Amino acid sequence: MSTRAWGVLFVLCGAIFLEGIDVAMLNVALPSIRADLDLTTGELQWVMSAYVLGYGGFMLLGGRAADLFGRRRMFIGWLVVFLLFSGLGGLASEAWMLIAARFITGVAAAFMTPAGLSIITTGFPEGPRRNRALLIYSGTAAAGFSLGLVIGGLLTAVNWRWVFFAPVFLSLVILLAALALLPRTPEERPAERRGVDVAGALTVTGAILLLVVTVERASHTAGVRTAATLAAGLALLAVFVVIERRSATPLVRLGILRSAALVRANLGGLLLAGAFFGFQFIVVLYLQELRGWSTLETSFAMLVLGIDAVLAPTLTPRLVNRYGNVRVILGGLLVAAVAYAAFLPIGPDTAYAAMFPTMLLVGISFALAYGPLTIAATDGIDEAEQGLAGGLLYTSFQFGAALGLSTVTAVNVAATGPGTDGALDGFRAALLVPLGAALLAAAVVATGLRRGNAPGEPVTGQVAEPTGERAVTAS
């Protein structure tokens, strides 16, 4: 790749790394935030839920906005919003200020992330070079989630407000690099007005917001309220489908869902995220609440998960070239199932050496599955809909994470009994959720094996730096 192409990739990887550490660092800082601001349990829950609502609710709209109004413009503009409201979160003195800042930060990420992904999928030629760029990108994202746990622990030890201030400095560096390196294309200069499906945007955003609320609150909200928000979300989703069928300029062209590879990738991504984040949540509870480990000890114990940042750009491309996306994704999901099953015998005094294989295998599985799922969800999609494809994929990831966290929480609470043995029963029951999700994801992905070497599932070719250069576009 040319020097300019590497520069563009550096900027986009920086942004997805920023998004990953922002989420992970906050998870570690929550107890300190509660103590300093004297938050109730409900308020603390909304500090996390506000970001999830903003991110998950507006992701699909953000992806389509990148296609309609320019990917570079959307990326840079919403990066500025992310920077400002991350800083405001660090200045918060009351719960409502922090919750509002997290919601708008989530909205900013929902517009910024699919724009960044679509810059890669439209700027790098489909094939080995794009695959390599996507695998580096996804490895960086995974590293953000893993390293953010450790960085968050270190910053919280100084002051929890640095968990919000640190992303401001990183955002500023990325913003300056983006202004210098992301090329401006003719399509992004003032152009003719495009039709916008306002009704579709409002209904699908409302539907996703209600569905995410349903999932997030299911484990600690009355059944009647859960059923009401679920029914309202499904009703809005039905209205959205009717609108899209009749719209001359639909927000989501429903025909895109005829791509079997795209649907498989989105279902696989939803289940992968649910299993991964559900497992992380249970491990943190086990180590801190049952074993009494500190935040920093827990962070370092899970640091090995970051091996995916090394394997994704090095090993995974070779495996994808040789065996194809479907086989590599399937292998990653089966490795994940083995990892989750290996953690089931945990006891009150289990040595870290016995936990280490599970942590290592989970990191390997994420490296094998996450990047190839991104490739499968965007390959063969028209350039004008790459933002939409990215929005669909990240909506699936976010909704899957919310679903996984809610489900493991509900199972853990229901299965937990008195004493240490009762707590262990709760953890073991909850661990069956990520195990089942990984196996179900493997079954979904395995259906693609019957299709052979379908588009987006290359078997031949080398992921290497070919000679010559191709301009990296940003529109």
Q: How far is CA 32 from CA 23, 24, 27, 163, 372, in A?
A: 15, 14, 10, 11, 37
What is the tens place of the pLDDT at every residue in 34-72? 888 888 766 776 787 788 778 877 888 888 888 888 889
Instruction: Give the model confidence (pLDDT) of 385-440 as tens digits.
Output: 888 888 888 888 888 887 888 788 888 888 888 877 888 999 999 999 999 999 99
Q: What is the CATH number of domain 1-184?
A: 1.20.1250.20
Length of the chain equals 475
Which pLDDT score, from 0 to 100, does residue 473 have? 41
How far is it, in rounded angstroms, from Cα 314 to Cα 400?
27
Distance CA 397, CA 378 (A): 14
Q: How many beta carbons lie within 10 A of that of residue 253, not counting itself? A: 16
Question: Of residues 212 and 462, which shows the higher confidence score?
Answer: 212
Average pLDDT over residues 266-294: 88
Provide the pLDDT for residue 109: 92
Architecture of domain 256-459: Up-down Bundle (1.20)
pTM of the entire predicted model:
0.81
Boundaries of CATH 1.20.1250.20 in the chain?
1-184, 256-459
pLDDT higher at 307 or 217: 307
